[in-house]
Amino acid sequence: MGSLFRSETMCLAQLFLQSGTAYECLSALGEKGLVQFRDLNQNVSSFQRKFVGEVKRCEELERILVYLVQEINRADIPLPEGETSPPAPPLKQVLEMQEQLQKLEVELREVTKNKEKLRKNLLELIEYTHMLRVTKTFVKRNVEFEPTYEEFPSLENDSLLDYSCMQRLGAKLGFVSGLINQGKVEAFEKMLWRACKGYTIVSYAELDESLEDPETGEVIKWYVFLISFWGEQIGHKVKKICDCYHCHVYPYPNTAEERREIQEGLNTRIQDLYTVLHKTEDYLRQVLCKAAESVYSRVIQVKKMKAIYHMLNMCSFDVTNKCLIAEVWCPEADLQDLRRALEEGSRESGATIPSFMNIIPTKETPPTRIRTNKFTEGFQNIVDAYGVGSYREVNPALFTIITFPFLFAVMFGDFGHGFVMFLFALLLVLNENHPRLNQSQEIMRMFFNGRYILLLMGLFSVYTGLIYNDCFSKSVNLFGSRWNVSAMYSSSHTPTEHKKMVLWNDSVVRHNRVLQLDPSIPGVFRGPYPLGIDPIWNLATNRLTFLNSFKMKMSVILGIIHMTFGVILGIFNHLHFKKKFNIYLVSIPELLFMLCIFGYLIFMIFYKWLVFSAETSRVAPSILIEFINMFLFPASKTNGLYTGQEHVQRVLLVVTALSVPVLFLGKPLFLLWLHNGRSCFGVNRRGYTLVRKDSEEEVSLLGNQDVEEGNNQMEDGCREVTCEEFNFGEILMTQVIHSIEYCLGCISNTASYLRLWALSLAHAQLSDVLWAMLMRVGLRVDTTYGVLLLLPVIALFAVLTIFILLIMEGLSAFLHAIRLHWVEFQNKFYVGAGTKFVPFSFSLLSSRFSDDDSVA
């Protein structure tokens, strides 16, 4: 079998990295993704590790790059993402890169700041111009006057003035003008009225265009106001209120000439500012464009560097403090590649002493490594979602590749729906290199990752749809139906036969709404339809009676075979782990239990199919009743399926009854006998290498004991040997629980497989209902507008088919097929208590801009 059958053998290797070459070696290892590093500094906090300074430097660079990317995105410059990812930068280049990036950041910040200042300035000047223009209209009716002029222009609200004020000739008329936010105008006016008691006159007008507020950056409407007041104190009050309401106050020109001068000055200044601003923006854009070319590769390089330093932090220094030691899990098949990668790294850094590795023996359980390609990865993920396999146990994913789509298809069985699903999956598979599919969102990504699973599911659904003879709920008559209606007519038979059989003629047919064909009449039934279910059943009203019987028996047969296969896979596990006693004391009783009861059920089903026919249908016993009677020993003897049935059943029951105690007690008692009878010690040899004992005693393969002698303390704390004492009570308890679970599980799991029947029935019925409610209604309208009506009906049919029957039913069948695999199949042999092998690989780092989670 390929490497998918079992996980690979792993070994623990120690890498000796010379201090000059450590970085390059890790870079080479990261590119290849061969090994998984073990953390040797677990009790050191992350702030006290050796390379914490370098990590901080990487993070600083990352921060600068994030700022750069932000600015580039803000300026709407396209950011090209390269196809190949650049390698981690050599140490010499890192300093240079750091300086470059820092300089770039400082420059960018300065230019941006300047630009902001210029813009703010520009806005103020524009506001001033608007203000000047609008306030001109306030006083255009009146002649401009000197501030000391006693006469006042006639104003609308002159009732506020009282004549005593006009006597104050020396009072100066002051003006405050500016812009205020639209929302605050009313409150401003009220406040002025209350505070200044009518000694101010406010005129305001709305600006037509909305301007940008320099502080917040929003574009809002402004009102230009002009306040004229008398007296110093009122002036102070007005100014304070203006401050309060965040008005932009600008100096009001006294004469028309002043106004003109100011306006001209403003215009020139605005023009200048526009040019300067334009130039600044161009320069900024240039800088950003230049940075955008290399920012992607820089981001990747910094990420890789940071990952390398994180791994370096996991290594420990040796005694001389010159050499880094790393412990890695490496698959044995990759050891050559590992050596080569170390050589390559040493060569690149130009060190005189190369880095090397050697294998160390260990008792710890290595992580589980299963090599998958893009096709098998989906199925392995399904199995891993339940639990990663223990080290070197049989991997159910190999068989799941076919059984999962098959069980799905049994529940989904429709030729048309399966074909649509197959086409959709084919589309995904053929376009799998299209970049947009690789980077899509979550739901689309889930479908994309499962494209091969969908492909197989669609294919098998096409096949089971052919067998169920169900295509969008209609049957296809490919070979001609084997049920002959004409043979039921009396005209097809000789008169002598008329007396023996119930036959039809035209009036019988006309007067009875439903009539049933009788297969015992010769000629009515002409043999089984060669491929699947006969199409006449689709036209029959008692279709479900036949189909239910067929599908329930089919579900039970498939389920029992699936579960028996699971038990047989367990035998492979026992063989591999050299625990032959498990085969005799656990697997064989399990098989006997399962086959004597449920295997016999399958035998009865097939026997009844083959032996009983329409002639004997009156005496055909119900299988379920026979099965139950097998255990109940009823007093009244029923007909039975075959002669000698009682004796056979009794024998089977005896075998079953004998296998149960063997299952319960066999293994614990055997282990107890081993422990007491054989007093020599051995080590249970599993898939990893053995530990050499101090006494140089070669450890022999007794292969039967869980007992290990003593506590072998090694130099490192992390290679402690787990010592198991022989605990009879625990072993007995475990075995009893396992046996009870197995025996009861046999019954409940067999019944659980009936969901294959239930879901296929549900699918067929839903499909039928959709057809009857939609297409039949549409097809039966035979007036002229019927053709036009058919178009929306077909559209609705297609939409509902996709959403309800394909997506909803598909998800449902998918879920149930997964459950059947995870629970009913895998609990016969799968332990799933391992850890997954996660190599140090740069390909696992995200290579997109949007992900900014750091590599841990």
Partner 1 sequence: MLSALPSRGLENLQRPSLGSLGPASRLGIPHPAMTAHSFALPVIIFTTFWGLIGIAGPWFVPKGPNRGVIITMLVATAVCCYLFWLIAILAQLNPLFGPQLKNETIWYVRFLWE
618-657 binders of partner 1 (CB under 8 A): 620
826 counts as binding partner 1 under rule CB under 8 A: no
For residues 12 and 716, is the Cβ–Cβ distance under 8 A?
no
Residue 371 has phi, psi (to 5 degrees) of -80, 125
When asked if residue 477 is in the footprint of partner 1 (CB under 8 A), the reply is yes
139 forms part of the interface with partner 1 (CB under 8 A): no
What residues from 277 to 296 belong to the interface with partner 1 (CB under 8 A)?
none
Select from 386, 421, 379 the least CA-distant residue to 403. 379
Per CB under 8 A, the segment of 257-265, 534-542, 585-593, 719-727 that binds partner 1 is 534-542
762: phi > 0 → left, psi -120 to 50 → alpha, else beta; which? Answer: alpha
Is 610 a binding residue for partner 1 by CB under 8 A? The answer is yes
Q: Which residues contact 487 (CB under 8 A, 6 or more apart)?
A: 493, 521, 522, 523, 524
Q: How far apart are CA 161 and CA 821, in angstroms?
A: 94
**Closest distance between partner 1 and the C-beta of residue 748, in Å?**
23
Q: What is the DSSP string of 714-771?
A: -SSGGGPPP-----HHHHHHHHHHHHHHHHHHHHHHHHHTTHHHHHHHHHHHHHHHHI
Q: Which of 617, 639, 748, 846 binds partner 1 (CB under 8 A)?
A: 617
Residue 582, helix vs strand vs coil: helix
Residue list 793-812, contact with partner 1 (CB under 8 A): none
Single-letter amino acid code for the residue at 232: E
H or E stretch covering 179: strand 173-181
Least distance (Å) from partner 1 to the CB of residue 33?
Answer: 17
* Burial class of residue 576, CB neighbours in 10 A (0-12, 13-18, 19+): middle
Minimum CB distance to partner 1, residue 537 (Å): 6
Contact 354, 40 (CB under 8 A): no
23 binds partner 1 (CB under 8 A): no
Determine, following the binding rule CB under 8 A, whether residue 558 of this chain makes contact with partner 1.
yes
Q: Does 516 bind partner 1 (CB under 8 A)?
A: yes
Q: Residues 93, 157, 255, 542: which binds partner 1 (CB under 8 A)? A: 542
Cα–Cα nearest to 406, from 364, 368, 471, 453: 453
Q: Which residues contact 554 (CB under 8 A, 6 or more apart)?
A: 410, 756, 757
Shortest Cβ 365–partner 1 spacing (Å):
25
Of 454-473, which residues contact partner 1 (CB under 8 A)?
463-464, 467
**Shorter beta-carbon distance to partner 1: residue 248 or 451:** 451
Q: Taking contact as CB under 8 A, which single stretch among the options 350-358, 508-516, 735-743, 788-796 is the one that binds partner 1? A: 508-516
Task: Give the range of 420-428, 444-452, 542-550, 623-631 binding partner 1 by CB under 8 A.
Answer: 542-550
Interaction of residue 684 with partner 1, rule CB under 8 A: no
Q: Does 439 bind partner 1 (CB under 8 A)?
A: no
735 is a contact residue toward partner 1 (CB under 8 A): no
| Least distance from partner 1 to the Cβ atom of residue 6, Å | 11
Strand partners, 333: none
Pick 464 or 735: Cβ nearer partner 1: 464
CA nearest 200: which of 243, 237, 254, 244? 237
Note whether 481 binds partner 1 by CB under 8 A: yes
* Distant-in-sequence, close-in-space partners of 622: CB < 8 Å, separation ≥ 6: none
Q: Which helix (H) or strand (E) holds 475?
A: none
Instruction: For 312-334, give the secondary structure using H, E and C.
Output: HHCCEECCCCCEEEEEEEEEHHH
Write out the DSSP string of 610-677: HH--STTGGGPPPHHHHHHHHHH--SS----SSTTHHHHHHHHHHHHHHHHHHHHHHHHHHHHHHHHH
Task: State the number of binding residues for partner 1 (CB under 8 A).
Answer: 79
Using CB under 8 A as the binding rule, whether residue 523 contacts partner 1 is answered as yes
Nearer to partner 1, 268 or 541 (CB): 541
What track of x and - describes contact with partner 1 for positions 341 through 380 (by CB under 8 A)? Answer: --------------------------------x--x----
Under DSSP, is residue 419 helix (H, G, I), strand (E, B) or coil?
helix
Supply φ then ψ for residue 251, to 5 degrees.
Answer: -65, 135
List C-alpha distances in Å: 251 to 87, 265, 681. 62, 14, 102
What is the nearest approach in angstroms of partner 1 to the Cβ of residue 766?
22
Among 4, 40, 64, 394, binds partner 1 (CB under 8 A): 4
Candidate residues 244, 611, 773, 791; the one interacting with partner 1 per rule CB under 8 A:
611
Exactly one of 530, 634, 661, 792 binds partner 1 (CB under 8 A); that residue is 530
Joined tokens for residue 660 = 């149960």
| Smaller CB separation from partner 1, 247 or 466 | 466
Q: How far is CA 13 from the centre of its chain?
A: 34
Q: Which is nearer to partner 1, 269 or 526 (CB)?
A: 526
How many Å apart are CA 229 and CA 796, to the nearest integer? 75
By CB under 8 A, the residues from 402 to 421 that bind partner 1 are: 402-403, 406, 410
Residue type at 124?
E
Query: CA angle at residue 95 from 90 to 97, to 5 degrees?
Result: 85
Which tokens sit at 704?
Answer: 């039967």
Gap between the Cα atoms of 668 and 659, Å rounded = 15
Site stretch for partner 1 (CB under 8 A), options 47-55, 523-531, 668-676, 815-823: 523-531
Using the minimum distance from each CB to partner 1, give the nearer residue, 412 or 840.
Answer: 412
Residue 187 found at the interface with partner 1 (CB under 8 A)? no
- Distance in Å, CB of 552 to partner 1, minimum: 11
| Near partner 1 in 166-185, by CB under 8 A | none
Does residue number 722 form part of the binding site for partner 1 (CB under 8 A)? no
The smaller minimum CB distance to partner 1, of residues 549 and 638, is found at 549
**CB of residue 416 to partner 1, shortest distance in Å:** 19
Select the residue interacting with partner 1 from 526, 576, 675, 685 (CB under 8 A): 526
| Minimum CB distance to partner 1 smaller for 529 or for 837 | 529
List 221, 543, 578, 685, residue binding partner 1 (CB under 8 A): 543
Looking at the Cβ atoms of 177 and 376, the one nearer to partner 1 is 376
> DSSP alpha helices (H): ranges in 314-396?
335-349, 376-386
* 3-class DSSP assignment, residue 853: coil
Helix (H, G, I), strand (E, B) or coil at 153: coil
Per-residue x/- track, 386-405, partner 1 (CB under 8 A): ------------xx-xxx--
336 binds partner 1 (CB under 8 A): no
Q: Least Å distance between CB 540 and partner 1? A: 3
Q: How far is the CB of 418 from partner 1 (least distance, A)?
A: 14
Residue 140 Rama label (left phi>0; alpha psi -120 to 50; beta): alpha
- CA–CA separation, 311 and 54 (whole Å): 12
Among 366, 532, 778, 810, binds partner 1 (CB under 8 A): 532
Q: Residues, the chain, total?
A: 856
Site string for partner 1, 577-606 (x = CB under 8 A): -----------------------------x
Q: At closest approach, how far in Å is the CB of 379 from partner 1? A: 10
Nearer to partner 1, 92 or 511 (CB): 511
Residue with smaller CB distance to partner 1, 478 or 807: 478
Output 147 or 528, the one with its CB closest to partner 1: 528
What's CA 451's distance to the chain center, in Å?
Answer: 13
Tell me the closest approach of the beta carbon of residue 449 to partner 1, in angstroms. Answer: 19
